[in-house]
Structures are given as structure tokens and as C-alpha cells.
């Protein structure tokens, strides 16, 4: 179906892709894995006509092709689902799918035909959607299906998926992987860009590993395992960390019988009580949409509680401002790096200092100390391996994983008694995940308290001293580290019970 030969892409002196060979055969899922900055997305942007190779050739159906725009790619049967969805929130699902290819009745948009065509397409590929639902009302998993339906509607035979599970819950991931299998059965060929090796081993037929812009391995799934793929991605063996025993101290965070209403004034958090002590990581597990977001926002001051008390180090911070709560000793990695975690148009430097620019040593008597700031910023991006051309680069030009590392660097390095880490490794590669986990454990070992909220059960199980399970706005289970299991958590997260 497709072959890339010797593809190289340079930006000045920097080589993003170096002599890459890659092929895709009909009805296969070929995964491309690698760390953030390994060159995965750059390679696919060239295939989709969003960038031009510095050198090398692209062959589609054995014919050499010059792909200079996404329209060229679509004309050759190549479609791409981007990591960050390109949908119109105010449009319906059907309107998004047919956009730019709308069926018409005389000169008018034929809404009825569009709805019928999209519904038939969804049924054909086993995707459940409501064509009249607005994107703004659709869950993330449904939005992902809409993006796939868009490229199918355009006639794509080759589908590129760039980090498709980065923002999905475990149940949504399972649905997506099932959809990919169905697409292949229906004759499609898929390129899957990801860093989640368990998903790769579940659905891929072949795997190409990139490291520092070069191919470090190309293997059939049957001939490899996650350990070998990890080693090829990072160039070394990953270390399995053990949580040393730490004697927990007094309660740093005390959430007492808290209620929070959602945007429709319905109870999203009901009578929740949580304590996190010094030297302790408390993990909160749950399927997205069961009150975790509202709990996070209440603790951090982003929304008001309707009842209950929240205390940090014995200080009542209930319904206080974000700044007041931070000044009491909270650092916060938000669950949505774009909505809550960063100012996209601001520079890397500004994003790193934005919560501490008023404090020593970054400022003295209200005047910024540029030398201290530059030293702090350069050390931070080096320590957390944030890949960027300059500290003055706008945050919007960072990859999702590098922006996540930037936010983690800002929050974990703070000398605060409490860290609220919500989805702290969402979208980062395994090497960065290992490092962020080490930093969270180090904070706990130093006697600070950590509240960890994650949809990744492996992360919860690896880091937590205690685990709480949320379902429909309530705490439905609590386990200490010795008695927790993935089976127990999965059952309670789905609303079940166990003996």
C-alpha cells in the first residue's frame, strides 16, 4: 500500500528524521512507537502533506508520489486523525463528518442525506453515534469516532492515527482498539502512532521503533515483547521502582464531607471525605466522569463546594481563590494541560515561572531577577528533558508530551507540602513517565503528601500507598497497598461489588 524510502527531514542543523524506511501492507496495523521527540509525528506529517521531506521518496501503490498538501494525501486515499481533534464544537456529528464534502440538494446543504450517509457509514464500521448530537455534548471517545468517520467519509484506505488513546478512558480505549480491528477486517490499513506498548502488543501486526529520529528496530509483534520495545525506545533497560516504607505523619489535606455540583447544578461529588498524610501517596481510581474532575477543581479553588470543608495543613481553604490555596502549600498538575495547565501563547520561560514569579529567588522586592529566572528555567527543561529549540518558544509549539513534562517540572519542583497530580503522565513516553514517577515518589519520601488521580490503573497501582475508588460522585472502596488488585479496582470502577 505504501513505502517510505530514506525519508529525511531537517530544520536547519536539527535532523528530525534521518534516513527512515517504512512500509505498510494491505489490511495490517503497523505501529510506530518512540519517545516524545523521536520523530513519529514529523514523519506522518510528511506522509499527510503537512511537511515536505528534505530528501527521500514516498511510494503509494508502487508509484512515486509528491505529497504537497493534505488534499494530495486525501486524493491518494490517505487520511489522518490528529492527536488534538479538529472538530467544530457547535456543529453536529454529521456536519463535522461531511464538512467540505457536503451532500447538496440543488444549491442547499442536504441535512437529511448527510445524516443518513453518516449513520450508514457508522453502522458499516460498527461505530455507535447519533448524527444529530453536537460535538460539544459528545464524550471524548465519541469525538474520536467522529474523527475516524471523517477520514472514512473522504474515502481513505490508509488511516494514520496519531496518539489516538492519549485522552481516552480505559473503556474508551478498549472500544477504539475494537474499532481498529473492524476497520482492518473491512479492508483498511492503519498506521498507529503511540507510546503505549500494551496497546501496541494488543492490536499491531508490525512495529517500527524510532529513537532520536532514526529507526532503532522494525519487528513483527510475535517476535518481540514490551521489554524489548522499551529498550529500543529509550536505549537502556527501564528500572522497576519499589516504594520504600515511610512512616506517614499528620494530615496535610483534609477533605471533609464535601459536596460539589456540576455545570447543570446536579451533585457531581457527594459527601466525600479524603485525608492525605505526610509521606503518603493516595491514589484515586475511577472511570472519567465520576466526579474526579469536580473534586480536583474544588480542592484547587477552580469551582465552589456546596457543602463540607477542605483544609490544607490545618488551614480552612474552602472556596478560597486559586492563589490563596496555592499559597497555603498546594502544587497542582492539572488533568487538562491545555485548558488548565498552560498559557499556550506564552513562552516556555513564562509558563515555568508563572506561579512563582512574585517569590524569591525569581524576584526581589517586586523586580524580576533575570539571571535567576534563566538559570531556573534552563535547569528545569534539562532535568525534565523538555525538547524545545529555545526557552522563548511559545508553549503551543511543544508536542503534547513535552508540554506535559513542562507542567510537571513547574509543579513537582515546588517546595510545597501537598501535590495534587491529576493524570501526571498523560501523553508522555515511557522514559519520561519513569522519571515523573521517580520525582513523585521522591516528593513522598521527603515527607510531602501526594493526591494522585489517574485513569491509568497501572500508574495508581505502581505509586499509591492507599487507593480510593470513585463511582458516581462517591467513594465506593478503599484499599491499602498490600490488599489492592486491578481486578478489585476494575469491578468497583464499573459500579460492581465484591465479597
Tell me the three cell numbers of residue 485.
488488585
Burial class from Cβ neighbours inside 10 Å (0-12, 13-18, 19+) for residue 424 reads: buried
Tell me the three cell numbers of residue 439.
520525582
Residue 240: what pLDDT? Answer: 63
CA distance 40 to 200: 15
Q: Is residue 363 assigned to a domain? A: no
Domain containing residue 21: CATH number: 3.40.50.300
**Cis peptide leading into 14, omega within 30 of 0?**
no
Report yes or no: 192 and 200 within 8 Å, Cβ to Cβ. yes
Q: Is residue 146 assigned to a domain? A: yes
Please check the confidence at residue 9 and state whether its pLDDT lies above 80. yes
For 36-65, write each residue's pLDDT tens digit: 778 888 999 999 999 999 999 999 999 999
Residue 445's CB is within 10 A of a number of other CB atoms, namely 13
| Same domain flag for 428 and 467 | yes
Q: Is residue 239 assigned to a domain? A: no
Residue 293 phi/psi, 5° resolution?
-60, -45
CA distance 493 to 198: 21
Q: Is residue 244 assigned to a domain? A: no
Choice among 206-215, 364-373, 455-464 with the minimum mean pLDDT? 455-464
Sequence-distant (≥ 6) Cβ neighbours of residue 76 within 8 angstroms: 60, 65, 67
| Same domain flag for 267 and 410 | yes
Strands, DSSP E only, in 53-176? Answer: 55-60, 63-65, 78-81, 104-105, 108-109, 158-162
Q: Is residue 369 assigned to a domain? A: no
| Same domain flag for 333 and 478 | yes
For 176-194, write each residue's pLDDT tens digit: 888 899 899 999 999 999 8
Q: What is the dihedral of CA 91, 94, 95, 97, to 10 degrees?
A: 110
Report yes or no: 239 and 214 within 8 Å, Cβ to Cβ. no
Distance of CA 352 to the CA centre of its chain: 20
Q: What angle do CA 32, 168, 302 make, to 5 degrees?
A: 130
| Same domain flag for 261 and 312 | yes
Please check the confidence at residue 237 and state whether its pLDDT lies above 80. no
| Same domain flag for 256 and 162 | no
Sequence-distant (≥ 6) Cβ neighbours of residue 70 within 8 angstroms: 48, 49, 50, 80
Beta pairing, strands 251-261 & 267-277: antiparallel
| Same domain flag for 260 and 113 | no
Q: Is residue 78 assigned to a domain? A: yes
Please check the confidence at residue 143 and state whether its pLDDT lies above 70. yes
CA distance 90 to 461: 39
Q: Is residue 383 assigned to a domain? A: no
Beta pairing, strands 315-316 & 2-11: unpaired
Final residue of a domain: which of 205, 234, 263? 234
Mean pLDDT of 61-81: 93
CA distance 472 to 437: 28
- Comparing 493 with 421, the larger pLDDT belongs to 421
For 94-120, write each residue's pLDDT tens digit: 999 999 889 998 889 999 999 999 999
CA distance 437 to 338: 21
Residue 239: what pLDDT? Answer: 64
Residue with cell 520561560: 349
Of the chain, the end-to-end C-alpha distance in Å amounts to 52
Residue 38 phi/psi, 5° resolution?
-75, -15
Write down the mean pLDDT value for the chain: 90
Residue 242: what pLDDT? Answer: 67
CA distance 403 to 400: 5
Nearest residue to 159 via CA among 81, 92, 253, 66? 81
| Same domain flag for 198 and 309 | no
The confidence band for 241, taking pLDDT boundaries of 50, 70 and 90, is: low
| Same domain flag for 158 and 229 | yes
Residue 20 phi/psi, 5° resolution?
-90, 130
The confidence band for 169, taking pLDDT boundaries of 50, 70 and 90, is: low
Final residue of a domain: which of 189, 204, 234? 234
Please check the confidence at residue 279 and state whether its pLDDT lies above 90. yes
Final residue of a domain: which of 234, 268, 295? 234
CA distance 221 to 207: 7
Residue with cell 532503532: 216
For 290-303, write each residue's pLDDT tens digit: 889 899 999 999 99
Q: Is residue 393 assigned to a domain? A: no
Domain range for 260? 251-343+399-493
Residue 242 half-sphere exposure toward CB, CA atoms < 13 A: 2
| Same domain flag for 166 and 116 | yes
**Cis peptide leading into 412, omega within 30 of 0?**
no
The confidence band for 144, taking pLDDT boundaries of 50, 70 and 90, is: confident
Give me the number of domains the chain comprises. 2
| Same domain flag for 64 and 172 | yes
| Same domain flag for 168 and 306 | no
| Same domain flag for 279 and 213 | no
Report yes or no: 411 and 442 within 8 Å, Cβ to Cβ. no
Amino acid at each position: 500500500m505504501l513505502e517510505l524510502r530514506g525519508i529525511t527531514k531537517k530544520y536547519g542543523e536539527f535532523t528530525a528524521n534521518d534516513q527512515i524506511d517504512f512500509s505498510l501492507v494491505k489490511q495490517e496495523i503497523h505501529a510506530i512507537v518512540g519517545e516524545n521527540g523521536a520523530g513519529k509525528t514529523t514523519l506522518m506529517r510528511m506522509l499527510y502533506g503537512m511537511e515536505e521531506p528534505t530528501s527521500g521518496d514516498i511510494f503509494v501503490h508502487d508509484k512515486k508520489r509528491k505529497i504537497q498538501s493534505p488534499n494530495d494525501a486525501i486524493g491518494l486515499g490517505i487520511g489522518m486523525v490528529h492527536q488534538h481533534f479538529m472538530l467544530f464544537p457547535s456543529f453536529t456529528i454529521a456536519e463535522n463528518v461531511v464538512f467540505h464534502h457536503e451532500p447538496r440538494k440543488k444549491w442547499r446543504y442536504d441535512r437529511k442525506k448527510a445524516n443518513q450517509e453518516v449513520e450508514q457509514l457508522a453502522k458499516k464500521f460498527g461505530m455507535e453515534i447519533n448524527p444529530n448530537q453536537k460535538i460539544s455534548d459528545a464524550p471524548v471517545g465519541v469525538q474520536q469516532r467522529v474523527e475516524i468517520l471523517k477520514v472514512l467519509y473522504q474515502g481513505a484506505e490508509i488511516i494514520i492515527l496519531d496518539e489516538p488513546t492519549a485522552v481516552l478512558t480505559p473503556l474508551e480505549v478498549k472500544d477504539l482498539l475494537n474499532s481498529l480491528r473492524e476497520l482492518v477486517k473491512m479492508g483498511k490499513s492503519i498506521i498507529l502512532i503511540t507510546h503505549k506498548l500494551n496497546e501496541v502488543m494488543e492490536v499491531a501486526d508490525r512495529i517500527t521503533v524510532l529513537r532520536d529520529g532514526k529507526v532503532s528496530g522494525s519487528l513483527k509483534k510475535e517476535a518481540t515483547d514490551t521489554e524489548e520495545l522499551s529498550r529500543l525506545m529509550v536505549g537502556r533497560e527501564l528500572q522497576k521502582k519499589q516504594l520504600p516504607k515511610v512512616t506517614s505523619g499528620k494530615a496535610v489535606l483534609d477533605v471533609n464531607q464535601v459536596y460539589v455540583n456540576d455545570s447543570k447544578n446536579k451533585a457531581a461529588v457527594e459527601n466525600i471525605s479524603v485525608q492525605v498524610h505526610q509521606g503518603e501517596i493516595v491514589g484515586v481510581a475511577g472511570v472519567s466522569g465520576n466526579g474526579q474532575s469536580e473534586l480536583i477543581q474544588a480542592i484547587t479553588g477552580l469551582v465552589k463546594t456546596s457543602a463540607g470543608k477542605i483544609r490544607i495543613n490545618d488551614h480552612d481553604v474552602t472556596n478560597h481563590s486559586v492563589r490563596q490555596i496555592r499559597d497555603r502549600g498546594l502544587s497542582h498538575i492539572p488533568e487538562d494541560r491545555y485548558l488548565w495547565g498552560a498559557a499556550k501563547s506564552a513562552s516556555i520561560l513564562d509558563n515555568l515561572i508563572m506561579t512563582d514569579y512574585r517569590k524569591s529567588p525569581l524576584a526581589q522586592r517586586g523586580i524580576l531577577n533575570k539571571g535567576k529566572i534563566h538559570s531556573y528555567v534552563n535547569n528545569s527543561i534539562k532535568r525534565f528533558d523538555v525538547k524545545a529549540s529555545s526557552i522563548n518558544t511559545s508553549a503551543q509549539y511543544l508536542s503534547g508530551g513535552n508540554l506535559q513534562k513542562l507542567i510537571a517540572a513547574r509543579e513537582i519542583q515546588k517546595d510545597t507540602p501537598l501535590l495534587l497530580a491529576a493524570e501526571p503522565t498523560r501523553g508522555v513516553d515511557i522514559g519520561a513517565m519513569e522519571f515523573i514517577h521517580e520525582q513523585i515518589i521522591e516528593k513522598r519520601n521527603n515527607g510531602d503528601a501526594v493526591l494522585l488521580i489517574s485513569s491509568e490503573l497501572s500508574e495508581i497501582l505502581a505509586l499509591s500507598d492507599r487507593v480510593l475508588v470513585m463511582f458516581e460522585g462517591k467513594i465506593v472502596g478503599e484499599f491499602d497497598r498490600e490488599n489492592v488488585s486491578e481486578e478489585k479496582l476494575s469491578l468497583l470502577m464499573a459500579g460492581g461489588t465484591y465479597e
